[in-house]
Amino acid sequence: MSDTGPANPVIPGFHPDPSICRVGDDYYLACSSFEYFPGVPLFHSRDLVHWTQIGNALDRPSQLSLAADVPSSAGIYAPTLRHHDERFWLIVTNVSEGGGNLVVTATDPAGPWSDPVRLPGVSGIDPDLAWDEDGICWCTFAGVAQVRIDPHTGETYGTPRKLWSGAPGDKAPEAPHLYRIGDYWYLLIAVGGTERGHGVAIARGLTPSGPFEPCPANPILTHRSTDHPVQNTGHADLVQAPDGSWWMVLLGVRPGGGTPGWHVLGRETFLAPVTWVDDWPVVGEVAPDLPRLPWPLVPGPVEEPRDDFELSELRPSWISVRDRPAAHCTTKERPGWLTLRARGTDLDEPDAIFVGRRQQHLSCRARTLVDPAEGTGGLAVRLDERHHYAIEASGSEVRVIARAGSLRTVVAAQPVPDGPVVLGLTITDPPPPHDSRTGPDVVSLGVEQPDGTFTVLATLDGRYLSTEVAGGFTGRVIGMYAAAGTVHFDWFAYEPLRP
């Protein structure tokens, strides 16, 4: 996503649980999507640094159906993306289907992807796929357990058997990935939970089912009990570049503010170099600035900062809450405008009509031109139903609404002339003085005047839109919504205020 050079995170914003594969000179990567639709964003890169979203694996109701009662931070967890027999395979868990695991396939990772093959015999989250020399497909999942499967039919053979799951006492052994590298099969797992204790451990054996010998240097990656600016490092996947070098993608967070530190963008995708010593991987630093790469950088297409909604379909980076029915969201009703038709009453409701994109910069600005003549709606930064800030237009009034836990309040209101109005929000560092109680950022919401000046109606503490306050596994999403009637949006613009 960055076009300024090699920097971490390589895919900023709410892009957790990365899984990667390489085909020739091309890399492909998938992430978790939780309660958002479409599900499982897919990215392409030629250099491991510049990533372009090319689609979503689960982009139609026959693949992904999330009911209104699916909680935020439920839904789609932790995919594994692999290429085998000239086909891409993606296995993932929909935890809102009773832990239902499914496999979809495609010849082109940009899609279309197949309808799901269900795996009722695989009960754990974070499933992995690996094929041995005889073509047998092994599914390894959180716990850590393993079972042989037929990925074409979903049939399992035998009962799952426990494998190595980290050191005694390791919390939450999950995110397993199995690889054949040289003379060994390697089992890479996450341990310690996805919070500050997160880490990566590895073991090796002579067969895909073990027995596995743990690495004496485990965990091979963790930032627990450090003051490193990147925390919660874990849930990793390995890939080998065409030149023979090895790399790791992993999730991490960037906490800000005082104590305990609040991360607001969610878990992001980072890159680290890997070397091998005595047939064990050694992970280099997860640094904000990547080391010089042994190949030229190949920037891909950069998403335009402004969307004028001139296409018949939305860009793949736009996501909605649980579903996106065409009757409630379309660019075809009023050419050059996004039309949203309310279903719930506001963003507090699980069936709210919302179209947003992930916040990807710690400091940024978002604006939209809204025509509220037929309804009520606006611009919001959302973490979940109980944690969001919005600037909303209705008739000749705009108002700022804050929802933090059980508290919901109209913070400010101001009359505006009838007709379309530009609503905006900026996210910036908190003003000084700073101390241990200072939050990670502030969110200012307001109206843009005809002369281009921005009138701030309210500035709110960003900590209440953080995982440390709200809980869960997602990050902020900024976008447009309809609270009543029909609302039209002419354009949406998003820009970083600093790299």
What is the model's pLDDT at position 98? 67
Q: Residues 128-160, buried b or exposed e (16+ Cβ, 10 A)?
A: bbbbeeeeebbbbbbbbbbbbbebeebebeeeb
| Every domain of the chain and the residues it spans | 19-283, 306-496
Q: What percent of the chain has pLDDT over 90?
A: 92
Count of beta carbons in the 10 Å neighbourhood of residue 317 = 18
Which residue, among 176, 186, 194, has the nearest Cα to 73 in the 3D structure?
A: 194
* E strand map for 3-110: 19-23, 26-30, 36-37, 39-45, 52-58, 76-84, 87-94, 100-106
DSSP H or E stretch at residue 496: strand 477-496
3-state class of 261 per DSSP? coil
The answer on pLDDT for 366 being more than 50 is: yes
- Beginning with the edge strand found earlier in the chain, give each strand of the sheet holding 76-84 in spatial order: 76-84, 87-94, 100-106, 117-118
What's the chain's Rg over C-alpha atoms? 23
Q: What is the pLDDT of residues 466-485, one digit of tens each?
A: 999 999 999 999 999 999 99
Q: How many CA atoms lie within 13 A of 107 on its CB side?
A: 0
In the residue annotation, 17 being an active-site residue is answered as yes
- Tell me the β-bridge partners of 264: none
Tell me what the pLDDT averaged over the chain comes to.
Answer: 95
Q: What is the pLDDT of residues 97-136, one digit of tens each?
A: 766 999 999 999 999 999 999 999 998 999 999 999 999 9
Contact yes or no for 395/413 (Cβ under 8 A): no
What is the model's pLDDT at position 4? 40
Contact yes or no for 475/462 (Cβ under 8 A): no
In the residue annotation, 174 being an active-site residue is answered as yes
Cα–Cα distance, 57 to 475 (Å, whole number): 20
* Mean pLDDT score, 345-359: 96
The answer on pLDDT for 266 being more than 80 is: yes
Cα–Cα distance, 307 to 323 (Å, whole number): 21
What is the model's pLDDT at position 345? 85
Specify the CATH number for 19-283; select among 3.40.50.300, 2.115.10.20, 3.30.450.20, 2.60.40.1890: 2.115.10.20
DSSP H or E stretch at residue 421: strand 421-428
Out of 59, 126, 174, 429, pick the active-site residue: 174
Which residue, among 204, 84, 61, has the nearest Cα to 132 in the 3D structure?
A: 84
Measure Cα distances from 220 to 136, 284, 345, 418 in Å: 29, 10, 49, 60
Contact yes or no for 444/458 (Cβ under 8 A): yes
Cα–Cα distance, 99 to 190 (Å, whole number): 19
* Mean pLDDT score, 420-433: 96
What is the model's pLDDT at position 3? 38
CATH architecture group of domain 306-496 = Sandwich (2.60)
Q: What is the pLDDT of residues 59-89, one digit of tens each?
A: 999 999 999 999 999 999 999 999 999 999 9
Q: Which residue has the tokens 């895919």?
A: 11
Tokens of 313: 């379909």
What is the model's pLDDT at position 291? 81
Confidence of residue 6 (pLDDT cuts 50, 70, 90): low
